[in-house]
A and B are shown apart, each in its own frame.
Chain A
Amino acid sequence: MPELGGRSSVRQGVPPISWRRRITDHLMTGVAVLTVVLVLAPLVAIFGYLVYRGVGSINWAFLTQSPKPVGEPGGGMANAIMGSVLILGIASVIGVPFGIGSGIYLAEFGRNRFGSAIRFTADVLNGVPSIVVGIVAWAIMVRGRGFSALAGGVALAIMMVPTICRTTEEMLLLVPQALREAAYGLGVPRWRTTLSITLRTATSGVITGIMLAFARVAGETAPLLFTALGNTYWSLRYDQPTAALPLQIYVYANSPYDDWHRQAWAGSFVLIFLIVTAVAAVRYVVRRGTFGAA
């Protein structure tokens, strides 16, 4: 940190810093600290409220029962938690292989114009609003067939692929070229080298990407509004309307009932707990990673 004219020996020959400049300097430091406080305040407020309203509302019924009819107190979000697991499972089964595959393509075969096109497309897809992805998933999966968990999973998979693709590429490129060459030198074919040497070395980084994508889509509501639609009953079928935690929170928050508001907070707490656990796990994995992924 710079000394602000404290030691005269250092500042010999330099005109002294005027009061105005010194006050401006302190003032701007204060402003910067203030912005940090202002940014962290909502974070603290949101987490504080989630814990304050959420923890007290979680009980056995909330975790094991499906919703009671409109206006009747009690019931829970068990079907929504299960539905989220189902939809996220479908999304991962579709999204993860395509994400990793396209990442491998970019890192190992994509040093050309076609690769650049895919790279740019993935970045563009990353910025597409989730509600627009919902419309497209509706158009290809729901129109003429009806709402389903599968449609919701496809919508979320579309959102997962770009993130996984780009992080996989970045992580594979971090693997030293010498490792690949060593494998080729031993006569290992290229596909084996990529799968059991390169990808294997980059595992922790690739998993980071998957978890980040997962955490991102786990809380998504907009793309599910007209794909999975929501459901007040149990459903574990891929071709039926399915409840999801974020959807249920949205519906309950907009309802006029205090008991449902309470459950919306409880649902949010469960959701954030799952996501923060995932993000924390990511940081843990990255820090323990075998090479400089951090």
Chain B
Amino acid sequence: MPGPQPVEGTKVTSVSALRAVPLLQASGGEVPDRIFKSAMTVCGLAVLGVLVLIVYELTSGSGLSWHAFGFKFFVGSDWNPVSEQFGALPFIYGTLVSSLLALIIAVPLSVGVAVFTTEMCPTALRGPLSFFVELLAAIPSVIYGLWAMFVLVPILSGYVEPFLAKTLGWSGVFEGPPLGIGMLAAGIILAIMIVPIISSITREVLMVVPQHQREGVLALGATRWEMIRVGVLRNARAGIVGGIILGLGRALGETMAVTMVIGNRPEIAKSLFAPGYTMASVLANEFSEATGDVYLSALVEIGLALFLVTIVVNALAQLLVWTVTRGQPARGHA
């Protein structure tokens, strides 16, 4: 960068330059600066305000249901708007099972993709590959749902579920009519949706592992896989777990795609072929049509539970990723 150059034709004396500074500050500085700072502070406060608003609306809205059912709300499995009996267990079960199923499928895949992009593939391929994986994150939930309804579900009911029933039907987890629509479909579509989050965070974490760790392990005579296992994955463990938990947080709150393929029946079934229902889905389906204060309040209480669970899960994930990347925010790239 070039240094300060005196403009031709003007004679800059040190005295006039010194005098100019306080003059400018006194005339155009103080008051607008204060206004500017308060305006920006108000914007910052708005972020806090939104969170406070969310907490307030959810707690005050769910009060009625909490008084009526207390803790039984979370262990009861009877959901009957007509007789105003509300138990959220089938929804909690559906949310947990579909999200865990998604994790079981997505974790090996995302870690594999991350390891491949950081450790194995040619550098030229790295950029395009991560771009394509992140493209998965840009697809809206409703389009995943549409695709799952018309492409994934027929494949499941026609090929995958009959096969699973024949080979693993004895376990009881894969039995019943192969409808396609149900818990398995929800788990698979959720898995596809959370792969980009887990893999992009895992990639970030793997890249933070110092190069000399890899070189050290290789120098001891390790093969590439041994180097990855001992030198890279073991060092990045905490961060990878953080990424997985962040993916879990996303899966728990995912609404549209799941609602379109899970079958929306509030039952607890052992088989993954059976239809289920999740907390987010019941909100999507019933909230705008809920009649009666208790019904509405019960739905808001489900929203509150969902909110609290995702907050705890996300905070945990942030902490874990922070311990590895030292303070850089962990985000699944949108």
Binding site for B on A (CB under 8 A): 1-2, 4, 11, 14-15, 17, 21-22, 24-25, 28-29, 31-36, 38-40, 42-43, 45-46, 49-50, 97-98, 100-102, 104-106, 108-110, 114-115, 117-119, 121-136, 138-140, 158, 161-163, 165-166, 170, 187-192, 194, 212-213, 215-216, 218-222, 225-226, 229, 246, 249-250, 253-254, 261, 264-265, 268, 271-272, 275-276, 279, 283
Contact = CB atoms under 8 A, between A and B. Distances in A.
Contact of B136 (A33, A43, A219): A43
A132 B143 contact: no
B57 A136 contact: yes
A134 B253 CA distance: 12
A97 B33 CA distance: 18
Contacts of A115: 44
Nearest to B304: A132
Contact of B116 (A1, A21, A36, A106): A36
Contact of A213 (B116, B136, B334): B334
Those 3 A-B pairs whose CB atoms lie nearest each other, nearest first: A219-B140, A129-B253, A101-B43
A7 B33 CA distance: 68
Nearest to B290: A226
B266 interface: no
A136 B53 contact: yes
Given A29-B224, A190-B36, A229-B288, 19 more contacts: A35-B111, A43-B135, A97-B43, A101-B42, A104-B40, A117-B48, A128-B310, A131-B255, A131-B306, A161-B47, A189-B25, A212-B334, A222-B280, A246-B256, A250-B142, A268-B146, A271-B140, A275-B138, A276-B138
Contacts of A279: 135, 138
Given A105-B40, A225-B288, A261-B150, A132 B54 contact: yes
Given A35-B109, A121-B47, A128-B54, A22 B29 contact: no
A121 B51 contact: yes
Given A22-B223, A123-B329, A189-B25, A45 B151 contact: yes
Interface in B139-161: 139-147, 149-151
Choose among B116, B131, B280 the residue with the greatest number of A CB atoms under 10 Å from its CB: B116
A42 B140 contact: no
Contacts of A101: 39-40, 42-44, 46
Contacts of A261: 150
Given A121-B51, A226-B287, A129 B141 contact: no
Contact of B280 (A121, A131, A138, A192): A131
Given A21-B223, A45-B151, A166-B329, A109 B40 contact: yes
A219 B47 contact: no
Interface residues of B, number: 97
9 contacts: A28-B225, A117-B48, A118-B48, A126-B331, A132-B303, A189-B29, A212-B334, A226-B287, A229-B288
Interface in B298-334: 299-300, 303, 306-307, 310-311, 313-315, 318, 329, 331, 333-334
A219 B223 contact: no
Interface string B2-36: 00000000000000000011011100110011011
A278 B266 CA distance: 39
B201 interface: no
Given A189-B28, A212-B334, A249-B146, A158 B50 contact: yes
A12 B46 CA distance: 66
A272 B116 contact: no
A216 to B, nearest CB: 4
